[in-house]
Structure 1
Amino acid sequence: MNIVQLKTFLVLAECLNVTETSVRMNCTQPAVSARIRNLEEECNVLLFDRIGKRVYLTKQGAVFRDYVKNAVDILQTATDHLKQMDDPLSGCVKFGATNFIGTYFLPPFLGLYRRDYPNISFEVNISCSSDILGRLEDNSVEFVVLSDQISIDESRYHVQNICDDEMILVVAPDHPLAESQQCTVDELENYNFLLKGDGSSTHGFVLEKIHAMGGRLGSVMHISSTEAIKQGVMYGLGISFLSRFTVSHEMETARLCEVPLESVCFKRKIRFIYREEKRLSAPSERFLATLLESMMAESPRK
């Protein structure tokens, strides 16, 4: 049983005509008959009924067709993947990212990359860190992009820093702090805050920094969505610490204001990670190299 026999079977099962099958398979009619006969002998079952000059799928042939189609599709996918791995400018880059990174950090770069390399496609799984790390483990994504606040076993992964992510204190334009040149840590307990819940790496990162400086926050409303927190700040529901990447547009359009925080710098690393034993495809290697170059070129301007 070989791939040529299986493809011949699928064509004949579709058109039910030996002559047409021979044309589509670029072979003789006796060759078509021989391939089908050999398949039937190997399977020890009749795949087609021959009635006069016509052929019909048997019930066994119909069942076999579904399995053969799946097998041929899988082999074709594997072949396409192997070809894609040799061409860095075509194919699919499949990766995972946490919600903030997949929503705010990567889209501008992805748009520019697709403009420059239109034969590249992307499959991006945006989810919580535990989910995307699980996808990395089961090999359903090639790499993931997340912050260094998410703990991983670095002995099992290749880890590369991409850039710094700065968390800043943001308020609505009409908030009392909006006109302040600076805010002290001690003042923070006077204001209402919007933050992600206790299980969030961002939540832990912010509180650790504040507590290390001897400060504490005022009342806290937990909201699971970064976008909802941003909207809440704009509409005066509270203030928050958000990534500069997240609020860059709102700050440019004066819908949010940054308030410098005295003696505290909230910086974390954004990095990509893949399994140590993993060999990345050529499109993924090219994409990550270009991302690193882009971030290095921008860093002096930040």
Structure 2
Amino acid sequence: MNIAQLETFLELSDCLNVTETAARMNCTQPAVSARIRGLEQSLDAPLFDRIGKRMHLTANGILFLDYARKAVGALQEASEHLRQMDDPLAGTIRFGASNFTGIYLMPAFLGRYRQAAPDLEFELEIASSAQLLADLDTAKLEFLILSDHIAVDERRYQCRHICNDEMVLVVPPAHPLATVRTATLADLSQDVFLMKPPPSASRSFLLDRIQGDESSLGRVMHISSTEAIKQGVLHGLGISVLSRFVVAQELADGRLKEVPMALRPFRRGIRAINLRDKLLTPAASEFIKRLVESGGRAEALPWAAEGAPGRPSHPPSGKAHRKA
């Protein structure tokens, strides 16, 4: 068994087509078949069923898939870790984020960070929390940026607080609620309320805070995109409660109006999450450290005040840190 066989197995299990796998791996079809055959012989188990021109993973193949992902992921991590030992501001950081943190919080921070680390590359996956946690467990990602409303086993995952996210009621400037001193739950039910359909972490957080169910909000319109909900409010489709990160620009330029609410505080924490039993690469470890120290604010990065792009005057140590 070797790494080429494992990588070929992962590619073939993804597309279930030898021709496409050969194209992806820049090799011949006989080479793909030989690698899979050799892997099956070393495991003494068939990994694929070949029915006519179609291929399917066997029960053995499905079971082995997770192990193969972890093995290849661990080797890639080790290679990246060694490359970064001399310089934690170079290499590649692969991490995941929820929709609103990935779109509205991270870009500004990443842009500022790249000024000090022009040799550092980022691969950011934006997906559901369930998918992100699955990718973290299989070493596809090194860490995640998620709301603390997402429950995780802190015996298995290390969680570090970055900042607080406040969710605010927003309405168009000409809306009747724009002039009230404090909005009640009854006020929210007087217009169409825009929110995500289940399952959604922000939706469950909202319903938890109002201590009710969807019917408490009156007429509800489901929209699966946070950005589309914001655009809906901007164009008079309804009202909504959104993260301040999401509507910061619109509140600043007066296109939306924030209305105080007479409800429980709509605040949740934003955390960096990684597996406790795995080493972070030096680049990822340094990145999380700076993210936590800055509270997620790009302008608060230690070298942000220097003005010009370039590395900080005192680059951080390249030693890896084992997670507690």
Given the two structures, how large is their TM-score scaled by the length of structure 2?
A: 0.66
C-alpha displacement of 1:137: 0.6
Aligned match of 1:255:
255
Contact kept? 1:136, 1:144, Cα under 8 Å: yes
Determine if the alignment matches structure 1 residue 205 to structure 2 residue 193. no
C-alpha displacement of 1:78: 5.8
* Counterpart AA for 1:273: I
Question: Partners of 2:248 and 2:117 in 1: how far apart?
Answer: 26
Aligned match of 2:59:
none
C-alpha displacement of 1:216: 2.3
Question: Partners of 1:268 and 1:258 in 2: how far apart?
Answer: 18
CA separation of 1:273 and 1:186: change in aligned 2, threshold 3 A: same
Aligned match of 2:295:
295
Aligned match of 2:229:
229
C-alpha displacement of 1:186: 2.8
CA separation of 1:210 and 1:139: change in aligned 2, threshold 3 A: same
* Counterpart AA for 1:201: A
* Counterpart AA for 1:244: R
Aligned match of 2:128:
128
3-state DSSP class of the match of 2:217?
A: coil
Contact kept? 1:169, 1:242, Cα under 8 Å: yes
Aligned match of 2:98:
98
Question: Partners of 1:263 and 1:99 in 2: how far apart?
Answer: 25
Aligned match of 2:88:
88
* Counterpart AA for 1:144: L
Aligned match of 2:16:
none
Aligned match of 2:244:
244
CA separation of 1:280 and 1:81: change in aligned 2, threshold 3 A: closer
Question: Partners of 1:172 and 1:124 in 2: how far apart?
Answer: 33
Contact kept? 1:181, 1:259, Cα under 8 Å: yes
C-alpha displacement of 1:177: 1.0
Give identity over the alignment, percent. 47
CA separation of 1:129 and 1:76: change in aligned 2, threshold 3 A: closer
Contact kept? 1:86, 1:282, Cα under 8 Å: no
C-alpha displacement of 1:192: 1.3
Contact kept? 2:233, 2:240, Cα under 8 Å: yes
Question: Partners of 2:128 and 2:158 in 1: how far apart?
Answer: 20
CA separation of 1:190 and 1:128: change in aligned 2, threshold 3 A: same
**Number of equivalences:** 231
C-alpha displacement of 1:185: 2.5
Aligned match of 2:151:
151
- For structure 2, the 5+ residue unaligned runs are 1-27, 36-74, 301-324
Q: Which stretch has the larger CA shift, 223-232 or 83-92?
A: 83-92
Aligned match of 1:20:
none
CA deviations over 1:235-255 (Å, ceiling 9, x no partner): 000000000001001111111
C-alpha displacement of 1:296: 7.8
Aligned match of 2:278:
278
CA separation of 1:238 and 1:91: change in aligned 2, threshold 3 A: same
CA deviations over 1:236-280 (Å, ceiling 9, x no partner): 000000000010011111111100002431001100111110110
Aligned match of 1:174:
174
CA separation of 1:241 and 1:190: change in aligned 2, threshold 3 A: same
- For structure 1, the 5+ residue unaligned runs are 1-59, 68-74
* Counterpart AA for 1:95: F
CA separation of 1:223 and 1:79: change in aligned 2, threshold 3 A: closer
Contact kept? 1:182, 1:260, Cα under 8 Å: yes
Structure 1 or 2, whichever has the larger Rg, is: 1
* Counterpart AA for 1:204: S
* Counterpart AA for 1:229: I
Q: Which stretch has the larger CA shift, 263-272 or 180-189?
A: 180-189
Question: Partners of 2:196 and 2:131 in 1: how far apart?
Answer: 18
Question: Partners of 1:296 and 1:250 in 2: how far apart?
Answer: 20
* Counterpart AA for 1:290: R
Contact kept? 1:96, 1:124, Cα under 8 Å: yes
Question: Partners of 2:257 and 2:294 in 1: how far apart?
Answer: 27
Given the two structures, how large is their TM-score scaled by the length of structure 1?
A: 0.70
Superposition pairs of residues 178-189 of structure 1, within 5 angstroms: 178-189=178-189
Question: Partners of 2:77 and 2:164 in 1: how far apart?
Answer: 37
CA separation of 1:218 and 1:129: change in aligned 2, threshold 3 A: same
